[in-house]
Structure 1
Amino acid sequence: MGTAARSAFDSDTLRRGIEDKTPTTLLSLYTDDAELRVVDHNTQPSNPRVLHGRNEIAELLDDVYSRDMSHKLEMCIVQGDRAAFSESCEYADGVRVLADSMITLRNGKIAEQTIIQAWDE
């Protein structure tokens, strides 16, 4: 009888990374060559925003975490080399954002991520 392999991905680190006020912890969860795709009202499925590597992802995270808003990890599910999570955010003026992510893991780090997000308009 075999046992399922456990991912080295740490959802507690993901929670701290999302909910902290700086992106450093969150950025540490990505591989150097990670690819991040963002689908939303502005970058629709036929032409998503695609970021390549930790440097481009760091620029996005620096921008997001420079804003006056809160972030909360709502749910995270990890199974093998795949994970999914939901994040809710709220700007100081009350505008809310919901983002769902599907990720592929390599050696416990995020190698690929697709974010689908929507916000109040």
Structure 2
Amino acid sequence: MGTAAAPAFDTEALRRGIEGHSAADLLSLYADDAELRVVDRNTQPSHPMVKHGRGEIADMLNDVYGRDMTHRLEQCVVQDDHVAFSESCQYPDGVKVLSTSMMSLRDGKIVEQTLLQAWDE
């Protein structure tokens, strides 16, 4: 008797979403009750920006991936129910952004994500 495999995380959807500026592709990777924490210069570890649920996460993704800038998935590692990836971005004026994310999965969907980002100033 075999066991059913857990749904796999769709790394190609992650790449398509990031590099193709597709918030819809990215949003499809999140569970309805997902939580996203963002830590950067403005939202430091003791007071991160926290987005709850797909609606709030969608607003953020639409803003970020709707901007006039390039996005590139640099690395992605999937192990069991965890995903880590790095992303590099560049605005037309040359300003660069680098982010890394650590995510927890349930049934192949993101339920928790912590994103750290830094940009040129």
State the TM-score bracket (shorter-chain normalisation): over 0.9
TM-score normalized with structure 2 length: 0.93
DSSP 3-state at the match of 1:60: helix
Match of 1:70? 70
Runs of 5+ in structure 2 lacking a partner? none
Runs of 4+ in structure 1 displaced over 6 angstroms? Answer: none
Match of 2:43? 43
Give the deviation of 1:12 after TM superposition: 1.2
**Which piece of structure 1 moves more, 94-103 or 10-19?**
10-19
TM-score normalized with structure 1 length: 0.93
- After superposition, residues 44-63 of structure 1 pair within 5 angstroms as 44-63=44-63
- After superposition, residues 83-102 of structure 1 pair within 5 angstroms as 83-102=83-102
CA contact (8 A) 1:7 1:80 kept: no
Q: 2:108 is matched by which residue type in structure 1?
A: G
What is the CA RMSD across the aligned residues, in angstroms?
1.2
| Identity over aligned pairs, percent | 67
Count of aligned residue pairs for this structure pair: 117
What CA distance in whole angstroms lies between the structure 2 residues aligned with 1:66 and 1:50?
Answer: 20
Runs of 5+ in structure 1 lacking a partner? none
CA contact (8 A) 2:100 2:117 kept: yes
Q: 1:44 is matched by which residue type in structure 2?
A: Q
Give the deviation of 1:19 after TM superposition: 0.8
